[in-house]
With several copies, the nearest count.
Chain A
Amino acid sequence: MTTVATFEIGYRRILDPDGTIDGAPPAFARDRNTLVALYRWMVLCRAFDAKAVALQRTGRLGTFASSLGQEAVGVGVADAMAADDVLLPSFREHGAQLVRGVTMKELLLYWGGDERGSDFAGPRHDFPVCIPVGTQAPHAAGVGLSFRLRGEARAAVCIFGDGATSRGDVYEAMNVAGAWTLPVVFIANNNQWAISVPRRAQTAAETLAQKAVAAGFDGCQVDGNDIIAVREATAAALERARSGGGPTLIEALTYRLGDHTTVDDASRYRDDDEVGRHWKMEPIARLRRHLVDAHGWTKAEEEALIADCAAQVEAAAEAYLATSPPAPASMFDHLYEELPAEVARQRAALLRED
Chain B
Amino acid sequence: MARPHAKTDAVAATAELTLVEAVQRALARAMAEDETVVLLGEDIGVDGGVFRATDGLIARFGADRVRDTPLSESLIGGLPVGLAAMGFRPVAEIQFMGFIYPVIDQIVNHATRMRTRTRGRLSCPMVLRAPYGGGIHAPEHHSESMEALFAHIPGLRIVIPSSPAKAYGLLLAAIRDPDPVVFLEPKRVYRAAREAVVDDGGALPLDRCFTILKGSDVTLVSWGAMLQETLDASESLAGDGVDAEVIDVATLKPLDMDTILESVHRTGRCVIVHEAPLTGGFGAEIAARLAGEGLMHLVAPVERVAGWDTVMPLPRLEARYMPSVSRIVAAARRVLEYA
Contacts and interface: CB of A to CB of B under 8 A. Distances in A.
* Most chain A CB atoms below 10 A, which of B1, B64, B308, B321: B308
B138 interface: yes
A41 interface: no
Interface in B70-86: 70-75, 77-86
Interface stretch (A3-11, A29-37, A240-248, A329-337): A329-337
B213 interface: no
Nearest to A323: B316
Interface string A297-315: 0000000000000000000
B72 A175 contact: yes
A201 B77 CA distance: 19
A194 B46 CA distance: 13
B179 interface: yes
A197 B105 CA distance: 23
B229 interface: no
A163 B121 contact: no
Interface residues of B, number: 80
B71 A142 contact: no
A208 to B, nearest CB: 12
Interface in B133-174: 137-142, 154-155
Contacts of B254: 340-343
Contact of B71 (A62, A128, A167): A167
Interface residues of A, number: 81
B235 interface: no
A176 B72 contact: yes
Interface of A: 62-63, 86, 88, 91, 110, 112-116, 118-120, 124-125, 127-128, 131-135, 137-150, 156, 163-164, 166-169, 172-173, 175-176, 179-180, 194-197, 201-203, 263-264, 268-269, 325-326, 328, 330-338, 340-343, 346-347, 350, 353
Given A86-B86, A331-B320, 8 more contacts: A110-B314, A113-B316, A128-B122, A142-B85, A142-B90, A343-B254, A346-B309, A347-B308
Interface of B: 1, 38, 42-43, 45-48, 50, 64-65, 67-75, 77-88, 90, 98-99, 102, 105-106, 109-110, 115-123, 137-142, 154-155, 178-179, 207, 254-255, 257-258, 278-279, 308-311, 313-318, 320-321, 326-327
